[in-house]
């Protein structure tokens, strides 16, 4: 395998690349929303997901722009099978891309996100990740491994100001703002409505009598970035599981900010996504992971425990 490029410089290049793509795609999405022409395409790879011509354009655009930055890499996009790019037949770096997350909302100019993560196969972990927010001023969520092997996380505003992400606010469960991707009624919203133990815990009053626990909606990797920034306290996916391109970039950014991601057994999910070979990467594209991501371990464990209690109750009833 070839040696990875200098990683902080790579991360900065990725941030600039994602900002460029956002600048190019946003006017197209706004025009789609205003015209009502959403350019929906048949999704042969993921039949239950909305796919637009904009997803496919971004898939091609990322491949075009990444190649001058990373001469040889494995391109693992949601929209195609993984492929080796460049002269090295066995490159170290795998670039995981979700070109346009929440595309059915993006073509309505409501919400839209884009994910790029660079994974070193020799290190068995991510070394840089960018999650871009297409329509908001807080535009780029970024994590990178520096020359000393330390991970750092930042959010960049649309005008280029950087703010380090380091978690320091830790809510208890009864005062937490927890998010979930609950848009699909049967697959997501109904299972959430059955989480009675969690919902009851969120309705417990604080010492002053106020009820502060909340459930909100959030999407893909950006939901973990919002936890990393302290905007929310936790996010969870217990119904279907996230695909790797939806989870991994945000997982790395949250980890770099000091947060935690657990599976539903309460075990920490490692950053090693087992991208050992091209065949392994293909397998990883088909896996789904259920998880709880939180600003701190205690909150994550409380949520896992509440979900487990509801599962046991539903099985016995």
Q: How many CB atoms lie within 10 A of CB 128?
A: 29
Residue 5 pLDDT:
42
Residue 266, C-beta contacts closer than 8 angstroms, at least 6 positions apart: 301, 304, 305
Distance separating alpha carbons of residues 85 and 71, to the nearest angstrom: 8
Q: Give residue 293's Cα distance to chain centre.
A: 11
Q: What are the structural domain ranges in the chain?
A: 7-164, 173-316
Q: Residue 55 — φ and ψ, nearest 5°?
A: -55, -45
Distance separating alpha carbons of residues 314 and 317, to the nearest angstrom: 5
Q: Quick check: 144 and 128 in contact, CB under 8 A?
A: yes
Q: Residue 157 — φ and ψ, nearest 5°?
A: -80, 170
The first and second tokens of residue 290, run together, are 């259920």
Q: Quick check: 295 and 230 in contact, CB under 8 A?
A: yes
Distance separating alpha carbons of residues 84 and 277, to the nearest angstrom: 11
Closest-CA residue to 133 (of 110, 166, 151)? 110
Closest-CA residue to 306 (of 193, 200, 208)? 200
The first and second tokens of residue 10, run together, are 């790579």
Residue 9 pLDDT:
87
**pLDDT 10s digit of each residue in the chain, 317 long?**
555 444 478 999 999 999 999 999 999 999 999 998 876 655 545 556 667 889 999 999 999 999 999 999 999 999 999 999 999 999 999 999 999 999 999 999 999 999 999 999 999 999 999 999 999 999 999 999 998 899 999 999 999 899 999 998 889 999 999 999 999 999 999 999 999 999 999 999 999 999 999 999 999 999 999 999 999 999 999 999 999 999 999 999 999 999 999 999 999 999 999 999 999 999 999 999 999 999 999 999 999 999 988 555 444 44
SS3 293: strand
Residue 164 pLDDT:
94
Place of tokens 């947060």: 259
Place of tokens 């905007």: 231
Residue 212 pLDDT:
96
Using CA atoms of 163, 118, 41, 51 in order, give the dihedral in degrees to the nearest 10: -50
Fold annotation for 173-316: D-Maltodextrin-Binding Protein; domain 2 (3.40.190)
Q: Quick check: 118 and 76 in contact, CB under 8 A?
A: no
Distance separating alpha carbons of residues 3 and 131, to the nearest angstrom: 25
- What class has domain 7-164? alpha beta
Closest-CA residue to 60 (of 41, 80, 39, 84)? 80
Report the side by side order of strands in the sheet with 260-262: 214-217, 177-180, 234-243, 288-294, 260-262
* Helix-strand-coil split of the chain, %, nearest 5: 40, 25, 35
Strand residue runs (E) in 146-259? 151-157, 162-164, 177-180, 214-217, 234-243
Residue 147 pLDDT:
86
Q: Quick check: 169 and 186 in contact, CB under 8 A?
A: no
Distance separating alpha carbons of residues 295 and 235, to the nearest angstrom: 9
Q: Quick check: 73 and 269 in contact, CB under 8 A?
A: no
Distance separating alpha carbons of residues 81 and 297, to the nearest angstrom: 35
């Amino acid at each position: 395998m070839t040696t990875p490029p200098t990683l902080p410089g790579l991360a900065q290049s990725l941030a600039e690349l994602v900002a460029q793509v956002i600048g190019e795609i946003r006017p197209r999405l706004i025009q789609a929303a205003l015209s009502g022409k959403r350019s929906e395409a048949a999704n042969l790879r993921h039949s239950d997901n909305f796919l637009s011509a904009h997803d496919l354009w971004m898939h091609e655009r990322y491949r075009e722009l990444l190649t001058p930055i990373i001469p040889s890499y494995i391109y693992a996009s949601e929209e195609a099978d993984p492929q080796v790019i460049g002269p090295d037949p066995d490159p170290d770096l795998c670039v995981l891309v979700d070109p346009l997350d929440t595309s059915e909302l993006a073509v309505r100019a409501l919400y839209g996100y884009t994910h790029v993560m660079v994974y070193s196969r020799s290190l068995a972990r991510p070394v840089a990740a960018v999650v871009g927010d297409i329509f908001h001023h807080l535009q780029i969520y970024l994590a990178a491994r520096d020359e000393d092997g330390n991970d750092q996380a930042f959010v960049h505003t649309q005008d280029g100001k950087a703010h380090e992400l380091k978690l320091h606010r830790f809510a208890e469960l009864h005062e937490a703002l927890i998010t979930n991707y609950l848009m699909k009624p049967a697959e997501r919203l109904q299972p959430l409505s059955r989480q009675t133990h969690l919902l009851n815990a969120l309705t417990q009053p604080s010492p002053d009598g106020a009820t502060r626990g909340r459930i909100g909606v959030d999407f893909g990797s950006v939901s973990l970035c919002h936890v990393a920034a302290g905007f929310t306290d936790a996010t969870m996916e217990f119904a279907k599981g996230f695909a790797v391109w939806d989870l991994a970039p945000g997982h790395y950014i949250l980890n770099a900010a000091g947060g935690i991601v657990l599976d539903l057994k309460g075990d920490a999910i490692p950053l090693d996504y087992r991208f050992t070979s091209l065949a392994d990467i293909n397998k990883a594209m088909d896996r789904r992971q259920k998880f709880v991501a939180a600003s701190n371990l205690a909150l994550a464990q409380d949520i896992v425990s509440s979900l487990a209690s509801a599962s046991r109750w539903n099985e016995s009833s």
